[in-house]
Structure 1
Amino acid sequence: MLLPKQFHFLFILFFFVLGLYAQDEEKTVPINKVINDIEKLHQVSFNYLEGDIAGLQLTPPKKTLSLDQKLHYLAKKTNLSFENIGNKFINIYKNKTEAQILCGYIYSAADRKPIEDANIILNSKIQITTDSKGYFEFKKENTNTLLISHIGFTAKKISADNQDSKSCLQIVLEPEITELKEIKANSILASGISKNTDGAFEIKPKKFGILPGLIEPDALQAMQQIPGVNSIDESVSSINVRGGTHDQNLFLWNGIRMYQTGHFFGLISVFNPNLAHTISIYKNGSSAFFGESVSSVVAISSTPETLEKNSFSAGINMINADVYGKYNLSKKSFIEISARKSITDFAETLTYKEYFDKVFQNTTITDFAKNQNVDYQSDKKFGFYDATFKYAQKIGNKDQIILDLITIQDKLKVFQSATANNIYKSENNTLRQQNYGGNLSWKRNWNSFNTTKINIYNSAYALLGNQNNSVGNQIVIQENTVNNNGVNLENQHIISSKFSLSDGYQFNEMGITNLEQVTNPDFYRKVKDVLRTHALIAEGKYRDTIARIYFKAGTRINYIEKFKKYIVEPRIQFSYGINKNLNLEILGELKSQNSQQIIDLQKDYFGIEKRRWIVSNNTTIPIQKSKQISFSLFYKKNDWLLDIENFYKKVNGITTASQGFQNQLEFIRTTGDYEILGTEILIQKKLNHFLTWLSYTFNNNNYHFVNYEFSSFPNNFELTHTLSWAVTYEKNNFKIALGTKWSSGRPKTSPDISKIDLSDPVIVYNRPNNTNLHIFSQVNLSSTYKWETANGIQYKVGLSILNILNRKNEISEYYRISSLTNSIEEVETFALQRTPNMSFRISL
């Protein structure tokens, strides 16, 4: 039996031995457990390679030691080095290889937060990305040049040859001032056409693929392939976006508003297709910096995003010839010139004849001796040209100045004569349409977060008609001129990597003059109106790519001096990625417009370009105001694309004179609105080198004129159903496209035969737009081929055929009293017949 003293001794000895055993066990603790304990206790984070610490065990340092003491202890116990960065990050690497390790952290200059998934390329061959802490690590080489990039930040190139191997690089990236637009989908309808997160369609002509009937990237022809965009009379001077008239669209070329958009009175775009770098098309949800429009916005920029090499090209087709040249004056400046002219002075091609017949049918040019058995003679001369000039100069690293100039002109001269009943009759007609514009812009990057841009611009438009009739010795002169001047100021502020703010001020002065002068009997009228508008703009944008949220909201406050009137125009764009394949989008806007085009008489300006610009008087010619909202679902997966958009749009303040009526409303002057509810669907599939798409548009578009006996009836520009299909094939340098477009006929008003006295005919109409024209259907084809010689010269040939089946499509119909037979006659206007075109281009 043990004595108490012996028991106590054995008891103490037992726990002493147990304590020694426990200490022996602590010496074999894996190092990653020690690291985890230090991370929890000192709130730090270790970075290391698993292979460097594999199998290491040691006795943990005392908990009472400081962080640096513990790191020093660990360094002594292991063959490792411990680098402490700001008591937040600790890098572990082997001593024997520390000279071979190159590591670093990448932060945002905006908020000093780590940048995850930044791309780092070492010596143009090894590429890795940063982790959630912004950390990266390389094995050093003989030379160590790093190229660091990330979306939304300016790329940086650094040399790390002399970098201390015991410390990591601390790299800061500046936010990118030039806003990088997020692309929702590339190759919408064709390569070179994309849809952005803000809802805009964007066309890059230099990357443009091919569309049916087009052999050149004509901006205004291409946009008519977008669901919801049509031309009711097959003209780029009459583009209808969601039921609106052409003048309700805002067309901007480098910040200059263009009042003339078509050559050949609407069959060819005035914008040189070989010049534009980016074309943005907004059907809804446009930026608050766009004003003076109640329908779409088409913004064309010919300024390249980067300095490009010198280039020259020249081309010709069966309508016009053009040249383009760009020359870099220095590393910071360049000039760009383009010019285009019709070839009708030298040749009248089959294409020209088809265009001529289409444009001048049912005008005074072709109606001069209609239905008369007389010796009729006509001498017609038509031509057009356009030219542009750009000068860009960077000053230092912060400033850039750009000067843009554009000139456009169409001119028609017609001499007609006939002898009937021994009376000699002749007319000498001249019609000229032109648009000149200039814009001077200055842009300054104050720092990485703030930039300012100022534009000073002018746009001058003129439509001039001169008619000399030998019968009665009468001269008729008509003129419509627009002079538009303005200043735009825009500031952009980057608040954080997700949020930015823009603000600005715009001043606009618009002067419009209308002149009518007639001799025998003498009549003279000249009216000039001027409106000055001030606008304050504020707009904020939030973009979270991880949460897949894009939100942009802004407002525009207009003040019209003459009417002492304020108009507030809020805009909104919201996009949410439900998942990586499905996206929800909501767009909305309120907009206003102070000018519009009207028709006084259908025979004004010889019935060719009979619309003339006027400004609002805030009474009989109201300020037009629109409101629009749209909801869409966008799905993309496995080269399938589905876009479904539903919208509601209403425009108040329209006049009957602006809608082109040729029925009982032609001479009635009243105001009202139109309201449209519609759906637009696009289905697209890409398969290897093939791309095919099908689009469908439904519109329910109605006028409301409360002061007219029929207060509600279908809109003149309603196409209830529109269906388009196309298939394109692109491989290497060969491209071909085939497509068709089908639409229900536009509304027309028929006469009420039961109420007409045929002995003394006066047209009595049924309810306005009580019926429709026949269905419109057209099949188009186009193809291009490009090749390059050994010395770098590129050649391109193209062929297109519009209306391959030569279908006779009626695009308008109205009724009039014939002065020859004193009876009611039906007048029909038709679209282009089968029309081929060929092109050839050379580029250096």
Structure 2
Amino acid sequence: MLLPKSFHFLFFTFFLVLNLSAQNKGKVVSIKKIIFEIEQQHQVSFNYTEDNISGLEIMPPKKTFSLQQKLDYLSKNTNLSFENIGNQFINIYKKEKEFPTICGYVFSSSDKKPIENANISLLNKTQTATDVKGYFEIKKGDKNIILSAHVGYITKRIAANSQDVENCLQIVLEPEVTELHEIKANAILASGISKNKDGSLEIKPKKFGILPGLIEPDALQTMQQIPGVNSIDESVSSINVRGGTHDQNLFLWNGIRMYQTGHFFGLISVFNPNLAHTISIYKNGSSAFYGESVSSVVAISSTPETAEKNSFSAGINMINADVYAKYNVSKKSYIEISARKSITDFVETPTYKEYFNKVFQNTTITDFSDKQNVNYKSDKKFGFYDATLKFAQKIGNKDQLILDLITIKDNLEVFQSATVYDMNKSENNVLRQQNYGGNLSWKRNWNSFNTTKINVYNSAYELLANQKNSLGNQIVIQENTVNNNGINLENNHIINSKFSFNDGYQFNEIGITNLEEVTNPDFYRKVKDVLRTHALIAEGKYNDTISRIYFKAGMRINYIEKFKKYIAEPRIQFSCGINKNLNLELLGELKSQNVQQIIELQKDYFGIEKRRWIVSNNSTIPIQKSRQLSLNLFYKKGDWLLDIENFYKKVTGITTSSQGFQNQLEFVRTTGDYEIWGSEMLIQKKMNHFLTWLSYTYNHNNYHFSNYEYPSFPNNFELMHTVSWAAIYEKNNFKIALGTKWSTGRPKTPPDNSQIDNSNPVLVYKKPNSANVHIFSQVNLSSTYKWETANGIQYKLGVSILNILNRKNEISEYYRISSLTNSIEEVETFSLQRTPNLSFRISF
């Protein structure tokens, strides 16, 4: 009986325990109780706040679980996080709100390659970065706006939707090309003039301050203030850079080569000073894209760097009047015009009279009057004008078309009559000089890294002289014309933020005609030469602003069709910042040119503009070649600036007829070279509104004509020592500048009087350029004042005085046999006397 009763009891107890166990397993308890049991069982201590666990109940974990398994169980079934510190202390936190994960890939649009270390972030500040494959994962937030950013790329903003949780995003970033503006030493010589890393000087006419003797930002007058740049005869048509002749300089206006650079036969620049936006001047180390010159490069661009508002201005001075207007036709196009004309048709100002006397001294015009006896009469008409037109049109977001046109003209008519030895003599002289050109350029930005520019250009030049002589009924016509056209292709490639590469092709065709026609006796000669050249260009640039290293190297390979000749022209520019104040610069170049100006007779074109353009024939008129190297040390600290440059330059292939000899070599035709070395120094100090600078140039310049009896002697354009000083004050709208220029005289060749028979004189000279004319010294002053009315109209008044001390400076000297006295006479040419000028301008 006991067995069954015991069995029944045990059976009943078993099921009761199962029932109790099942009821306990399904019962939830407070989290606080579970924590207490875990502390007792595993000898740990929990740290928490009552707010985090208050009212929270769950079914307890199995007692057989390990500590970590229990913590994972609690974390999974609650909104709490458990931080286990050494199996001794456990911190309890509330979980952040959980969101699904978003994945994606980031690529570059330029090469389709993945971008590593791109920053991926949400607006809630959650961030991550891409791996080497451009892959990332980030938890989705409340505001699902993803920002993807990387240095060198435009930040992209993406709105992620629910589908992006399952499928990875594909994010493509566009490169961001940021033009790193070079750190320039502003206010070199004057405000608006700065120095670039490539060694060039840059002039911003619209920001130009003031220089002694200048009241307008005349490009060619301004560049004569630069150490190493001079004009032997004060003419912008005779600018000599480190010993080179004027024709060895390359003057470009919006890509068009200009063969005429001066109005009033050199006293005024043909480039309207109120038009240009940027003027770049290279004495050495020019880009390989500049060809056809063995001396400097002057590149003038009237295309603004940024969009500008409509504007209009008009001005007048004691030589000319001008107008300028810019009108935005639409948001993507504008038209810009300028025009300038002399006022000499209406009034002869004191400035005009001084200019006229300077230009026409010792020419056939004044020779006529010098030989007068009685009843001399003269009627002269002189005038000039220039005009430009620009039209720019953007097409879409990647293309731009620009059309540039320019026309320049100088015209002189002089009628002279006199009674000489009871004979009536008269001459009617006409001299016309003009240059016109056009350039059509197309620029396309393929993407942020690649740009192509193509321009087609034409430049035409004419110099015409027509002389009618009543005595002998003779007509003399002389004409020199140039027609230059070509096409340029340039590609720019930005490899990365430090390195860029340019390549291109240029085709150039130049035809030059020289005509001489004489009646009674009859003579006619017309010679036309055409030369076509091709050039391949490659150029690389490395610019590291952090290490302050700038390196640019280029190669230009010219092929001349007519001579079947290749000429390689390497260029180099290297700049290294030794520290933040001191910079070392090395520049070098090899260049060539196929055209030059020569003088056949000093009285050609009335002796006023006696130079004519000719083309090289690769024999008696060689291709001119130059090589130049310079080392520059540039120091700037605070308001002090010091610039010292040493250079060496050699030009081969020059002819005696291109150097303007007026001694025993005037009729000698031979070829040779010149070699020049020297130093240029500029020291400058700025003090509040006051700026002062002092420059010094030393040149040692010699000719080498191996086939001549004197194989070596000083260059005609040697100014061994030149010193310039200026003091400039600028405050608000008032500017004033005082300056002086001093130089040793240019070389001259005196006659050897010991070998001249006075009864029958024939000029016999000493060694060429064995003496010098007198020292040149000049003091100049200029001042401007600008004010603006309430309605935005600006007015500007300017005054200048050249040679305020009225010093009589001799700029050249030569000798000739007088037909009247049959004796040797000395002919001297002098610079401008005291010359005032006054200007007024209105703009809005």
Q: In which range does the TM-score fall when normalised by the shorter chain? A: 0.7 to 0.9
1:496, distance to aligned residue in structure 2 (A):
1.1
Aligned to 1:387: 387
- The structure-2 alpha-carbon separation of the partners of 1:337 and 1:87, relative to structure 1 and needing over 3 Å to count, comes to closer
Aligned to 1:267: 267
SS in 2 for 1:805: coil
Q: Deviation string for 1:574-633 (max 9, x for gaps)?
A: 001111111110000000000000000000000000000000000000000000010011
SS at match of 2:368: coil
- Relative distance call for 1:764 and 1:85 in structure 2 (3 A) is farther
CA offsets, 1:398-457, max 9 Å, x none?
000000000000000000000022100110000000001000000001111111000000
**Alpha-carbon distance, 1:86 to partner:** 8.1
Summarize deviations over 1:231-254 as a string: whole Å, max 9, x none. Answer: 011000000000000000000000
1:173 CA drift (Å): 6.3
1:682-831 matches, cutoff 5 A? 682-831=682-831
- Aligned-pair CA distance for 1:369: 3.0
- Runs of 4+ aligned residues of structure 1 deviating over 6 Å after TM superposition are 23-27, 77-88, 105-117, 156-164
Q: What's 1:5 paired with?
A: none
* Structure 2 counterpart of 1:368: 368
CA distance in 1, matches of 2:217, 2:440: 27
Spell out, residue by residue over 1:716-773, the C-alpha distance to the aligned partner (whole angstroms, 9 max, x if none). 0000001011111111111111111111100000000100000000010000000101
Asked if 1:423 is matched to 2:411, the reply is no
CA distance in 1, matches of 2:345, 2:303: 32
Q: Aligned to 2:591, what secondary structure does the other structure show?
A: strand
Are 1:228 and 2:228 matched, yes or no?
A: yes
In the TM superposition, residue 172 of structure 1 has moved relative to its aligned partner by 5.2
Q: Deviations over 1:154-211 (max 9, x none)?
A: 9x798899999x9xx999563438x555243111111110100000100000010111
Verify the 8 A CA contact 2:107 2:114 in the aligned structure 1.
no
Select between 318-327 and 106-115 the one with higher mean Cα deviation: 106-115
Rounded to whole Å, the distance in 2 between the matches of 1:74 and 1:493 is 58
Measured at CA, do residues 172 and 786 of structure 1 come closer, stay the same or move farther in structure 2, by a change above 3 Å? farther
CA distance in 1, matches of 2:776, 2:116: 59
Q: 1:552 to 1:759 in 2, by over 3 A?
A: same
The 1:24–1:380 alpha-carbon spacing in structure 2 relative to 1, beyond 3 Å, is farther
Matches within 5 A, 1:9-28: none
Partner of 2:539: 539
2: CA distance, partners of 1:684 / 1:832: 28
The worse-fitting range, judged by mean Cα deviation, of 685-694 and 320-329 is: 685-694
Structure 2 match to 1:136: none
CA distance 1:450–1:471, shift in 2 (3 Å)? same
User: 8 Å contact 1:485–1:510 — kept in the other structure?
Assistant: yes
Aligned residues: 744
Post-superposition CA distance 1:256-285 (Å, at most 9, x none): 000000000000000000000000000000
Say whether 1:176 aligns with 2:177: yes
Which letter maps to 2:832?
A: L
- CA spacing shift, 1:192–1:81, aligned 2, 3 Å: farther
Distance in 1, matches of 2:590 and 2:45, equals 78
* Helix, strand or coil at the partner of 2:750: coil
Name 1:650's counterpart in structure 2: 650
Q: Secondary structure at the match of 1:223?
A: helix
Provide, for residues 51-77 of structure 1, a one-character-per-residue CA deviation record: whole Å limited to 9, x for no partner: xxxxxx965699xxxxxxxxxx99957
* Distance in 1 separating the partners of 2:682 and 2:741: 14
CA distance in 1, matches of 2:837, 2:498: 49
Contact conserved, 1:623 with 1:653, CA < 8 A, in 2? yes
Larger radius of gyration: 2
1:472 aligns with 2:466: no
In the alignment, structure 1 residue 201 sits paired with structure 2 residue 183: no
User: How far 1:85 sits from its partner (Å)?
Assistant: 9.8
Structure 2 distance, partners of 1:276, 1:115, is 45
In structure 2, the CA distance between the partners of 1:543 and 1:471, relative to structure 1 (3 Å rule), is same
- Change in CA separation of 1:58 and 1:373 when aligned onto 2, cut-off 3 Å: farther
1:236 corresponds to which letter in structure 2? Answer: V
The letter of the residue matching 1:176 is: V
CA contact (8 A) 1:392 1:402 kept: yes
Letter in 1 for 2:175: E
- Going from structure 1 to structure 2, the CA distance change for 1:163 and 1:226 (only over 3 Å counts) comes to farther
Q: 1:427 to 1:174 in 2, by over 3 A?
A: same
Match of 1:326 in 2: 326
Match of 1:246? 246
Q: Which amino acid aligns with 2:773?
A: L
CA distance in 2, matches of 1:106, 1:691: 52
SS of the equivalent of 1:366 reads: helix
Summarize the alignment of residues 37-76 of structure 1 with structure 2, pairs less than 5 Å apart: 59=84
Q: Contact 1:107–1:114 (CA<8 Å) still a contact in 2?
A: no
Give the structure 1 partner of residue 662 of structure 2. 662
Q: d(CA) in 1 for partners of 2:518 and 2:296?
A: 38
What is the DSSP-based 3-state SS (H/G/I as helix, E as strand, rest coil) of the residue aligned with 2:223?
A: helix
Distance in 2, matches of 1:790 and 1:161, equals 50
Cα deviation code 1:519-560 (max 9, x no counterpart)? 111100000000000000000011111111110001000000
TM-superposed deviation, 1:462? 0.2
* Aligned equivalent of 1:286: 286
Matched residue type, 1:488: N
- Specify the alignment match of 1:589 in structure 2: 589
Measure the CA separation in 2 of the matches of 1:291 and 1:114.
43
Distance 2:415 2:46 in 1: 112
Q: Does 1:185 align with 2:185?
A: yes
Give the drift of 1:305.
Answer: 1.0
User: Is contact 1:453-1:489 (8 Å) kept?
Assistant: yes
Residue identity matched to 2:264: F
Q: How much is the aligned-residue C-alpha RMSD, in angstroms?
A: 3.4
Partner Cα distance (1:109, 1:25) in 2 = 56
Segments of structure 1 that go 5 or more residues without pairing to the other structure are 1-16, 28-56, 63-72, 89-104, 123-141
Aligned pair in 2 of structure 1 residues 610, 114: CA closer, same or farther (>3 Å)?
farther
- Distance in 1, matches of 2:202 and 2:92, equals 58
Change (3 A) 1:781 1:116: farther
Flag structure 2 segments of 5+ consecutive residues without an equivalent.
Answer: 1-38, 49-81, 124-142
Rounded Cα–Cα distance in structure 2 between residues aligned with 1:511 and 1:668: 26
The superposition leaves residues 476-520 of structure 1 with CA deviations (integer Å, 9 ceiling, x where unpaired) of: 000000000100000011111111110000000000000000011
Amino acid in structure 1 at the alignment position of 2:632:
S
Aligned to 2:579: 579
Pick closer, same or farther for the CA change 1:501–1:407 going to 2, 3 Å: same
TM value normalised by structure 2? 0.83
**What is the match of residue 352 of structure 1?**
352
Partners of 2:427 and 2:773 lie apart in 1 by: 34
Partner Cα separation in structure 1 for residue 308 and residue 567 of structure 2: 42
